[in-house]
Structure 1
Amino acid sequence: MNSFIFPAWLNGKGGKALAGPIMIIMMLAMMILPLPGFALDIFFSFNIALAIIILLTSFYTVKPLDFMVFPTVLLVSTMLRLSLNVASTRVVLTEGHTGPDAAGKVIEAFGHFLIGGNYAVGIVVFIIITIINFSVVTKGAGRIAEVGARFALDAMPGKQMAIDADLNAGLIAEEEARRRRTEVAQEAEFYGAMDGASKYVKGDAVAGILVTVINVVGGLIVGMVQHDLGFAEASKIYTLLAIGDGLVAQIPSLIISTAAGIVVSRVASEEDIGNQFINQLFTKPEVMYITAAIIGGLGVIPGMPHVAFILLAGSLAGAGYMLKKRSQTAPSQEGVAAASAVPPAPEMEEATWQDILPVDTLGLEVGYRLIPLVDKNQGGELLRRIKGIRKKFAQDIGFLSPPVHIRDNLELKPSSYRIALKGVEIGSGDANMGQYLAIDPGMVSGTLPGIPTTDPAFGLPAVWIDASMREQAQSMGYTVVDAGTVIATHLNHLITSNATELLGRHEVQQLLDHVGKESPKLVEDLTPRLLSLSVIQKVLQNLLVEGVHIRDMRTIVETLTEFATQTQDANELTAQVRVALGRAIVQQIFPNGNELAVMTLDNKLERLLMQTLQGHGADGASMEPGLADTLALQTEVAAQHQQQLGLTPVLLVPGPLRALLARFLRRTLPQVKVLSHAELPENKTIRVTSLVGGQI
């Protein structure tokens, strides 16, 4: 159709972009420039064809967003009809005295063929069509669009939350979530635009009536005053032209209004309107039989058109019989085919790279009794908790963890769950739906009847109890949580403990991109100019492995930029970053007070460790076995002394020894934090409570 209306060069990509402006210019030109009758015939024919195309397109759309441009099409088609009304009115009033074909053959045909040349009949038909269009079709479509826009806007927050829950649960990817969010926003915009566009159709109907009345009155005046026609002759000529003009505009308007009603009134389905009509209206044999009986009963009443009613009743009964026969034979044929046919051996396809499935970074598998916790259709309580876990992790640690991919696993026990990191199990446990886990924090006043177990997150003694004993357990000092909280707490503990492995190249790049939004020059100076992404990742992982958050990425990037010209070693860069983050590290360990109660090394042990460091490097494995055992034992004794005093076990050492001792104690005494003198803020007071190595 484009090639018919526009030149061939408009069919390309650039031409399609120019089609809209050219059409608007043409409509404005029709209002200003006089058009011959042949040109009016072309444009009126195109208007009718456009209306039919719009109607058929609305029939074959599966969902409203498949015809997203419809509100704009509605406006453009309305302006096209109004432009044609202006152009045809000019021709009718200036050339109408020459005959009924003055405004083209199309208007003449509608004036003679459709209404038989009787202007009284034409007026009645025109008024009826206008009333149907204005009061029934357009008004109903506008009301549906208005309600649809209201409900779409009200439902938008819930739909967005559902998309976020699916994304956080790992049920969909980021691209799919982005597509769904865009679709939700477009749906709300579509119904809002349809609500406004329906007003154009109403105005078009009113304008059609006014234009027709003006054409009749103006034609009578022009014909009798300027062309000396009699009243009867002028009435016949100009009324037929005006009614023909009105009908040729109102019939496409009625078609497009019907299309608007079809688009906004359809319910979401995977079928188009035609299939829905057939599959939902004419597929029940009982309905056909009852309708045939009613119509046949009307046909035997005296005075009724017997032939028409009885013929229709027979057709309906025959259709019902065919439908019932088809519904009975189809299942039996399927059963015989399934029983008798030997399925051919499936042909094995060649292995492809698509057969290699990516391993989920974080995975949660649940037994079938725990499915309600992760099913959004049944409440999905755990989905909301996981969303909160990822948000809190990002706020506390400093980067967004990968989504948790959740699936059911029939191989697990019904009430069991399994947490995996990169396909490897890192935690598992049981969660009994309908019961509560009463955890003993160490200060309970009695025992409870139930199923004894261990808290999966922290290894504390616990017992599964019935819901009726919840208040009693709380009064006895137990910490009582439900099944969803048990899994969520365990998952949160494991995610935090394994933050180092969760920080991959992709997450590091996202962190740098996030910093680059506010300080683009800062990131550009660091990578890839000074440091590679892998070195930055190693520095961040070194911080995380010792429990140091990386929220202050600006300070980290500035420090790396400053010292990257001096060294490319990740461990040395980590030491400099720790010094820069010293205030935050100390605040994390000692949240209150200016006095820091710490453990220190005996001078003799410190000299031995410095000699080891100078002779063998910073590798903790190079430490002599006897020295290593003694160091571990005495550090454990000092740490227990600190904990008995209610203090955090912190070992303060010289800067060169910090990495060596931190790496050595991480496996045997992970609760001991190792700080260097350079990391302590100047306004803090140091109090030594224990000495490590005094017996060496």
Structure 2
Amino acid sequence: MDQLWNSVLDGMKPIRKVIPGGDIGLALCVLFQLSILIMPIPTFLLDMALALSFIASILILLISLSLERPLDFSSLPTLLLLTTILRLSLNVATARLILSHGADGPYAAGRVVAAFGSFLMGGDVVVGAIIFSMLLMVNFVVITKGSSRIAEVAARFYLDAMPGKQMAIDADLSSGTIDEPTARLRRAELSEESGFYGAMDGASKFVRGDAISALVITLINIFGGLAMGLLRAHMSIESAFLTFTTLTIGDGLVSQIPALLVSTAAGIVVSKGAVQGKMHGKLAAQLGSNVNPLMMASAAAGLLALLPGLPTVPFLTVSVLSGAAAWQRFLAKRTALVAAAVPVIQPPDNNAAQVSLLDVVRVELGYGLLELASGMSQQLPDQIKRLRRALATELGFVLPSVRIQDNVELEPYNYVFALKEISAGAGALRPMMMLAISPGDQAIELPGEKTVEPTFGLPACWITPTLADQARSANWTVVDPATVLTTHLAEVVKENIAEFLSYTETQKILANLPQEQQKLVADLVPSTITVGGLQRVLQMLLAERISIRDMPTILEAVQEACSMSLKSVASIVAHVRTRLARQISDSLTGPAGYLPVVVLSQEWEDTLAASLVGPVDDRQLALGQEKLRELLDRMRVVIDSAVNNGEKPALLTSMGVRYHVHSIIDRIRMNVPVIAQAEVHRRARVKVVGTI
């Protein structure tokens, strides 16, 4: 039973931390609040309750300011209800004491009420009444009304976006991007998120109603108190007005200041929206992320300091502080370097020139993108680390470390990839926006900056983060700038990954094999094949994105090929691929469970086979220009048709021409895998989706 109650009250941890005794303490607290509405309480107990109301409102505000995301304070709607009931109960209790014992003196409703009344009024009833009215108006007209509207709009948009988010989770699950436990967790978070914003929409009405009731109770206390003082206590009009107005304003302050704090906390939580991270960090990062606004603010403050009639010191101080912040930000962006990189290795001096090794992979950023690499979140280094792990899992090869550095010659929001100091890709980002990638020709229009997705050339649009949910509900794919850059880098790396497998890396792979495989390595290298020859075999596999994780099978296949007197690297690779048939077939099998293929017709097979010239171990394709152009045109038509039908096909050929067909497709960058018939595993389900 205790476990059941604990699960029910799990979302109310802030309350359980404050109230000892868990569920029993919470129940007694609510009963105490309701009992105040009916039963009179002594002034010392009233002072304790008012102090608790103050501290609880301050605690709620501080928790709201330190949230990473709104759902971390999922008990806020319940707290808003409980604190509203507490304030209303205390209002009723103080009103009872003011009306029944107000003639006894300023401490009739307790010392807390008396202290706040005398502090605000300062001996002047009119000034105190005006200031109290202003506080009441600020809470009622500005904060509670704004919070209520934000909560209403947020609830509406989150509920409208739920079907799209649910479909996105199902799509990720179907594609294998996430597993079933992750999908259940994301569905639970989605349900909790929609429930939270719906509850906040309703709870904001409590806060607004609290402000209205405070105004009504204040008027009742003033006019009712005057009537009681004049008719029952036979006080003079001046004495009755001063006494009951002081008590009423003190009572109003004691209730309105906590209400103001709680209303502010509710407004902060609902206005935080989808912003992740603590609010103070996000505000500092976003307000100070751009140098130009800070410089313009500094110049404007300096200009105002020089105008005649305006005080110089305040505006000059603001100008100096803004200028210092702009300069510090400028220096930080220029000097920010991330050390998730290959270290510069220098040989011993020995009176010789010191040279540094080439950066195998380098990402160069314009100064406007340095926040992605060196900011508080450091999105880019973290995503590159995940990319390296993913490549190691997918292809069995660990990508060398990636250096990230600034480049003052680039435009502020541009980036460039360099592989072994040679440019291999470039693009542009918008740091404070999201990239929405169009789902097709029927996509709705989104307000934003039209562009082209840099990795695959798809039509896209840079949008503000507030439009992300709307874009997802319309089936647009929405990604952040760091993900855009990392995806582009992943594709560039995969296209050139064979170049990264050096002689030294091949030696490391062989040395890291388990002890039981070392005998095979010793028998194979260098007597049967050299390390360089094995390096070339692995490079050709990686060039076609064939994983080399199964090194024992690859080494056994190489040994078999060499024992069959196969000499050329291409023929050895062809034999290795047949031994990896199950792996190749599995990697090309789609979500539907079958391997979609486009078949090369027998006519083209014969034409290509007849065009092969040279020795058996080193055949070359000598196909005429007209025939080659005809073959390419036919390939594009058939493969594009299959892709438009939702398939990701492989081109199926005979073993004799597979390598040469791949060479043709690789040169025109069609990015279609080419497999031989012997590389299709016997258990694979094959579906022909086209014929060339």
Q: TM-score, normalised by structure 2?
A: 0.52
**For the pair shown, which has the larger CA radius of gyration, 1 or 2?**
1
Q: 1:297 aligns with which of 286, 292, 303?
A: 303
1:532-562 per-position Cα deviation (integer Å, ceiling 9, x unaligned): xxxxxxxxxxxxxxxxxxxxxxxxxxxxxxx
Equivalent residues of 1:34, 1:87 under 8 A apart: yes
Provide the residue aligned with 1:174 in structure 2: 180
Gaps of 5+ in 2: 1-15, 349-389, 394-434, 441-489, 498-540, 548-576, 591-595, 610-629, 653-681, 686-692
Equivalent residues of 2:600, 2:651 under 8 A apart: no
Matches for 1:62-141 after TM superposition, within 5 Å: 62-141=68-147
Q: Distance in 2 between matches of 1:238 and 1:13?
A: 35
Write the letter of the residue equivalent to 1:180.
Answer: R
Q: 1:23 aligns with which of 26, 29, 32?
A: 29
Write the letter of the residue equivalent to 1:161.
Answer: M
Matches for 1:373-392 after TM superposition, within 5 Å: none
Matches for 1:459-470 after TM superposition, within 5 Å: 466=633
Q: Distance in 2 between matches of 1:479 and 1:125?
A: 73
Equivalent residues of 1:437, 1:483 under 8 A apart: no
Provide the residue aligned with 2:6 in structure 1: none
Q: Distance in 2 between matches of 1:81 and 1:58?
A: 20
Matches for 1:313-462 after TM superposition, within 5 Å: 313-331=319-337, 424-426=583-585
Q: 1:45 aligns with which of 51, 54, 62?
A: 51
Specify whether residues 166 and 307 from structure 1 end up closer, same or farther in structure 2 by C-alpha distance, changes over 3 A only.
Answer: same
Write the letter of the residue equivalent to 1:482.
Answer: V
Specify whether residues 202 and 267 from structure 1 end up closer, same or farther in structure 2 by C-alpha distance, changes over 3 A only.
Answer: closer
Q: Distance in 2 between matches of 1:51 and 1:467?
A: 72
* Aligned-residue CA RMSD (Å): 4.8
Q: How far off is 1:31 after superposition? A: 1.2
Q: Distance in 2 between matches of 1:57 and 1:186?
A: 19
Equivalent residues of 1:438, 1:480 under 8 A apart: no
Q: How far off is 1:57 after superposition? A: 0.5
Q: Name the % identity.
A: 37
Q: How far off is 1:20 after superposition? A: 2.2
Equivalent residues of 1:438, 1:479 under 8 A apart: no
Q: Distance in 2 between matches of 1:332 and 1:428?
A: 35
Provide the residue aligned with 2:315 in structure 1: 309
Q: 1:222 aligns with which of 222, 225, 228?
A: 228
Matches for 1:159-198 after TM superposition, within 5 Å: 159-198=165-204
Q: Distance in 1 between matches of 2:157 and 2:204?
A: 17
Provide the residue aligned with 1:523 in structure 2: none
Equivalent residues of 2:121, 2:246 under 8 A apart: no
Write the letter of the residue equivalent to 2:21.
Answer: G
Provide the residue aligned with 2:643 in structure 1: 482
Helix, strand or coil for the counterpart of 1:481?
A: helix
Equivalent residues of 1:119, 1:240 under 8 A apart: yes
Equivalent residues of 1:126, 1:247 under 8 A apart: yes
Equivalent residues of 2:150, 2:270 under 8 A apart: yes
1:445-465 per-position Cα deviation (integer Å, ceiling 9, x unaligned): x9999999xxxxxxxxxx977
Write the letter of the residue equivalent to 2:217.
Answer: V
Q: Distance in 2 between matches of 1:449 and 1:139?
A: 79
Q: How far off is 1:490 after superposition? A: 11
Larger displacement relative to structure 2 (150-159 or 237-246): 150-159
Q: TM-score, normalised by structure 1?
A: 0.51
Q: Distance in 1 between matches of 2:223 and 2:607?
A: 94
Q: Distance in 2 between matches of 1:314 and 1:197?
A: 44
Specify whether residues 248 and 479 from structure 1 end up closer, same or farther in structure 2 by C-alpha distance, changes over 3 A only.
Answer: closer
Specify whether residues 36 and 421 from structure 1 end up closer, same or farther in structure 2 by C-alpha distance, changes over 3 A only.
Answer: farther
Helix, strand or coil for the counterpart of 2:21?
A: helix
Q: Distance in 1 between matches of 2:18 and 2:194?
A: 32
Q: How far off is 1:487 after superposition? A: 3.9
Q: How far off is 1:481 after superposition? A: 2.7
Q: Distance in 1 between matches of 2:607 and 2:24?
A: 76
Specify whether residues 173 and 309 from structure 1 end up closer, same or farther in structure 2 by C-alpha distance, changes over 3 A only.
Answer: same
Write the letter of the residue equivalent to 2:284.
Answer: I
1:254-307 per-position Cα deviation (integer Å, ceiling 9, x unaligned): 111111111011142432011112222135443333212211211222211122
Q: How far off is 1:117 after superposition? A: 3.2
Specify whether residues 428 and 307 from structure 1 end up closer, same or farther in structure 2 by C-alpha distance, changes over 3 A only.
Answer: closer
Gaps of 5+ in 1: 1-9, 343-356, 361-375, 382-406, 453-462, 492-666, 671-696
Helix, strand or coil for the counterpart of 1:103?
A: coil
